[in-house]
Amino acid sequence: MQGSRVLAVDLAGDSVKARNGSMVAYDGQMTFKRMSGGGEGLRGLVTRRITGEKMTVMEVQGKGTCWFAERATEINLVRLTGERLHVEASNLLCTEATLRTGTEFTGLRGASEGHGLFTTKVEGQGWAAVTSDGPAVILRVAPGLPLRVDPGAYIAHTGNLKQSFRTDVTWRAVVGETGGESFQIEFEGDGLVYVQPSERRTFAGDA
């Protein structure tokens, strides 16, 4: 890491997958290869096209150091050891080649974010870099300790979590008086949730 907004990756012949166009500098020998459909093969390509969870990825291979950055957003490193990371495609910057990525159905929550009904999952062993608007706050969820998150601030989660969409829309909302925080994602189970200190514009409003 260089600061918290630039990610430096040292490569020694191995490769990483990174979002297209996120390389800001490199030294040594590097090749950049565009991978259609997030490098998930034809099936992945088609799935992503259909699901709208678009992700243009390049494979970076070579020897040297490569620096990645994305619109000066904060970069959070997530170490995966076999578990699964769920992340919005727009927040995934870079993954080690050892990690597999795929799409997954999330249901109503995705729709409320204007992010579509699907999210990206990352599995395997290695590092993944996740971007956030402002440094992410990592919150633990344990049994009996549910967490509710604003859909616009959610970026990723790991572990075995059940998410459900929660509303407290009542008749008051219908007459135009809402609590303003009517839409939330509830996480139950055991795991970590990454939240950014900022909210995307969401379909559900200022939820």
Partner 1 sequence: MTTGPVVWDPSTLPTDDNVNPYAFSVALNGRWFLQKGKMVAYYGNITFHPIGYGPLDSLISTSFHSPTHVGDWVVAEGQGHMILADRAYDVNSYDLEQGNLTVRAGNLLAFAPTLALKQSIIPGFLTLIGSGKFVAASNGPVHFVEPPIRVDPQALVGWADCPSPCHHYDHAYMRGVLGGVRRLTGIGGASGEEHQYEFVGAGQVLLQSTEVLMNELVAVEPGHTVPAQSAQANLGALGRQLGF
Q: Which residues form the interface with partner 1 (CB under 8 A)? A: 1, 74, 76-77, 79, 133-135, 137-140, 142, 145-150, 152-153, 168, 172, 175-182, 192-193, 195-199, 201, 203, 205-207
CB contact burial 163-196 (16+ within 10 A = b; e otherwise): bebeeeeeeeeeeeebeeebbbbbbbbebbbbbb
Do β-strands 99-105 and 118-132 pair in parallel, antiparallel, or remain unpaired? antiparallel
User: For residue 155, what are the CA distances in angstroms to 13, 41, 61, 79, 132?
Assistant: 31, 25, 27, 16, 7
Q: How far is the CB of 177 from partner 1 (least distance, A)?
A: 4
> Closest distance between partner 1 and the C-beta of residue 29, in Å?
26
By beta-carbon proximity to partner 1, the closer residue of 48 and 115 is 115
Nearer to partner 1, 40 or 188 (CB): 188
CB of 175 to partner 1, least distance (A): 7
How many residues in total does the chain contain? Answer: 207
Query: What torsion do the CA atoms of 127, 130, 131, 137 make, to the nearest 10 degrees?
Result: -110
- Is the Cβ of residue 45 or residue 138 nearer to partner 1 in the bound state? 138
Least distance from partner 1 to the Cβ atom of residue 38, Å:
25
Tell me whether residue 52 or residue 134 sits nearer to partner 1 (CB atom). Answer: 134
